[in-house]
Structure 1
């Protein structure tokens, strides 16, 4: 019996090691570059030190008319945006960057940074000092990455020219938190969880508090914003759209679009729509810089009425 228990424990440990190896949602430098090479394209990968952390980022394209920065959610990595970074339409319009946020990819996997303010400080060098940025600079964020994109616009108002927010998690407490989320933070249990999921869990535990810290600064955002969310999003409640409408009071242009029949992962399921939004934002940002953007706030009412169906009881 003792031998069976020992064997079971040994197999369980092996399983955990294998799970951690494969549940990472990341591509190493060679794999990432090969992905682009197979499409006849090139991409570069770089590393830098900030706040005693090593951060990885990738770049593609050489167009000097604009810059796009992609910020992923949780759990994820810069590989999440590889299809956007290799898209011919976007490559013709901008130089693009994507970053492994702290705790993900190859930026210290399993060692997250819960502070949104510090995450912005970790990411900012990509477009502030390490590379020559051509304006307009558009920041595209998905899920948890949207809060970081917004904080970047708050803290660096002269750097960011436009925001594209995908499935945004902006309102404190307006997202699904699982009953086991607090338990996973226990050292006794966290050891058994793949590192990528540890990072995501730690972020989720602190997210409400971190979003609350941003409440005084929403009026600092003064660039055009495009907000897109699936009307059936069960992970980030559609009430985030109302929050955005109420708090983005100083933006020159706000368009909120709730997409019928779609859930949280619209960056995959609605790639063409997201790409169109990015291209549109490039034009909006240029108009805003030139002082020619007409102030507008638009909500797609037809889609809005369907928000919350399919498992999300928190309606916009």
Structure 2
């Protein structure tokens, strides 16, 4: 016979499931999959597109985000002269998540599939923000023939000696309690996200309407929240191995780094990358972790410059 406690817990779990399901339905109606779905390795990748002709540019978003991050920032500045592809990473936005997708090599393989199917005519300029910078670097290492140049925005590039992640990622990433814990996230996450947004932009102010324009609410769907947690929980270990290969990179690389970035400390990442690879490092004074917002024109100029260099597949 079920105890009163068991009945109560079962009822609570059912209520949380219904609540998170309602949230998921509501947020996906607000931010539907408005791009193209392509199959890579048996799993759909959702890709937003802008521009119909010109050199290809693939943009890879960071943690806690999705492809919409670029749709109203960089893409409008490029769409007249470039084919811009903005891909949701595995398990984020509206992309499905293959097994083992917390590995940078798996994420890079999904991005490689996007280029192979949508930009087969010539190598692309690959833009990566934060976590997306790590994926962009892995794509360039594993499939250099697909990449003409890299533009990295406040990238995470190296291990930093510890997980350094928020307590909730530790719980959400757990295979044992993660599914149950993540059911609570839609109830509390959206109301708490304001401080986090302010922190990534600091010392610059967050743009008006950033939460809605970038579809940040998609993060708080339980499967997406767990995917994000698993990604960041293993990132330190992944980068410890990946960074040993950076000497293999031969394509031109431009890196934008905010001097006041407290999310990805430049000294632990971009400064170390510069010691291994010949990069064009642009230090932005009084800038935080989101350089493509305030310094969008400079980022676009860098993309144009790399795209104009000679070289083909």
Q: Give the TM-score of the pair, scaled to structure 2.
A: 0.73
8 A contact 1:26–1:79 mirrored in 2: no
8 A contact 1:104–1:110 mirrored in 2: no
Match of 1:233 in 2: 261
Gapped regions of structure 1 (runs ≥ 5): 33-44, 291-316
Aligned length: 265
Match of 2:141 in 1: 154
Match of 1:127 in 2: 115
Distance (Å, rounded) in 1 between the aligned partners of 2:113 and 2:281: 30
Distance (Å, rounded) in 1 between the aligned partners of 2:253 and 2:29: 28
SS of the equivalent of 1:108 reads coil
Deviations 1:171-196 (A, max 9, x none): 11267422443233222243232322
Deviations 1:120-162 (A, max 9, x none): 1111122224444345x21111110001111111122222111
8 A contact 2:45–2:90 mirrored in 1: yes
SS of the equivalent of 2:70 reads helix
Match of 1:28 in 2: 32
SS of the equivalent of 1:227 reads strand
Distance (Å, rounded) in 2 between the aligned partners of 1:121 and 1:181: 25
Match of 1:35 in 2: none
Q: Give the TM-score of the pair, scaled to structure 1.
A: 0.73
8 A contact 2:46–2:94 mirrored in 1: yes
More helix by share: 2
Distance (Å, rounded) in 2 between the aligned partners of 1:25 and 1:163: 34
8 A contact 2:133–2:153 mirrored in 1: yes
Gapped regions of structure 2 (runs ≥ 5): 183-221
8 A contact 1:224–1:285 mirrored in 2: no
Q: How does 1:1-316 map to 2 (within 5 A)?
A: 12-21=16-25, 27-29=31-33, 32=34, 45-64=35-54, 66-84=55-73, 86-87=75-76, 89-108=77-96, 113-134=101-122, 137-173=124-160, 176-186=164-174, 187-193=176-182, 194-238=222-266, 239-248=268-277, 251=278, 254-268=279-293, 270=294, 273-287=295-309, 289=311
Distance (Å, rounded) in 1 between the aligned partners of 2:28 and 2:283: 30
Runs of 4+ in 1 over 4 A off after TM superposition: 5-15, 18-26, 109-112
CA shift for structure 1 position 93: 2.1
